[in-house]
Structure 1
Amino acid sequence: MAYLLLIWLINALAVYATATLLGGISVTSFWSAMAVALVLGLVNTVLKPLLVFFSLPFIVVTLGLFLLVINAILLQLAAGMVQGFTVDSFGWAVLGSLCISFVSWLLSSIFNM
């Protein structure tokens, strides 16, 4: 249980850092970042496997780059669900999903997760 809480905190820090670094993404508070991390975790668990399954031909043809589109769509979905978190455009969503993934990976490697 502590492992899941630590991952949730790491993802919230990644969301908050991304909102700080990128101008097209904003979060009003750290609690909003916590909510975004929770919603992203749930959306990635439930919807992402379905989207990947149904878009598998596009993923194969683009050599996996279509996964960036899926991640951006899920980030915009989370922005629509969480008050206090906004993504200005699809381009910012692509950059934001890349930044969140990188920061989350970096923090996870620091904490040996």
Structure 2
Amino acid sequence: MKTFLKILLTAVAVIVLANILPGISVAGYVSAIIVAVVISLLNMIVRPLLIFFTLPATIVTFGLFIFVINAIIILLADKLVDGFAVSGFWAALFFSILLSIFRSALFSLLKDDRKQLN
């Protein structure tokens, strides 16, 4: 259930960011949900491989190369989903940064508050 909510919240973030940022477009709500699923799958499968193979560049840049990897993930999602378009690398970079911020804020709402017994 939580995974489904996270995908829906990511789709909402994709729609909001597509309306805010120039160079990003989403055809509709279904496309946004597909983009959220594809980004989640790419983050689970492709991102660890990219991080492993670019580890020296990540170390030299003190971790800033992770932003480039996130932009590559967004560009891959652009190629895989028909209703999602990204105009270029810089748009993908800004989109990935803002998407990470939005997802962090939205996912913090899903954390369950468990009361500790004292």
Query: 1:87 maps to what in 2?
Result: 86
Q: Deviations over 1:41-89 (max 9, x none)?
A: 1111111000000100111111111000000011010011101100001
Q: Compute the displacement of 1:28 (Å).
A: 1.1
AA aligned to 1:100 is L
Unpaired runs of at least 5, structure 2? 113-118
Amino acid at match of 1:34: I
Q: How does 1:10-29 map to 2 (within 5 A)?
A: 10-29=9-28
Aligned-residue Cα RMSD (Å) equals: 1.0
Q: Deviations 1:79-108 (Å, cap 9, x if unpaired)? A: 111011000010000000001111111111
TM-score (norm 1): 0.95
C-alpha separation between the residues in 2 aligned to 1:18 and 1:7?
A: 16
Provide the C-alpha distance between the structure 2 equivalents of 1:12 and 1:24, rounded to a whole number of angstroms: 17
Task: Supply the distance in 1 between the matched residues of 2:92 and 2:51 (Cα, whole angstroms).
Answer: 18
Percent identity for Structure 1 against Structure 2: 42
Alignment partner, residue 51 of structure 2: 52
1:61 aligns with 2:60: yes
User: How far has the Cα of 1:30 moved from its partner?
Assistant: 1.1
In the alignment, the residues of structure 1 paired with residue 101 and residue 9 of structure 2 have an alpha-carbon distance, to the nearest angstrom, of 11
Aligned residue number for residue 3 of structure 1: 2
Displacement after TM superposition at 1:32 (Å): 0.5
The offset of 1:110, in angstroms, is 2.8
Shift of 1:21: 1.0
How many residue pairs align between the two structures?
Answer: 112
Q: What is the CA-CA distance between 1:112 and the residue it aligns to?
A: 2.7
Provide the rounded CA distance (Å) in 2 between the counterparts of 1:30 and 1:99.
Answer: 19
Q: Which residue of 2 aligns with 1:33?
A: 32
Letter in 1 for 2:86: V
In 2, Cα distance between the equivalents of 1:112 and 1:25? 30
In structure 1, how many angstroms separate the alpha carbons of the residues matched to 2:17 and 2:69?
18
State the SS of the aligned residue for 2:25.
strand
Partner-residue secondary structure (3-state), 1:110: coil
**What letter is aligned with 2:72?**
I
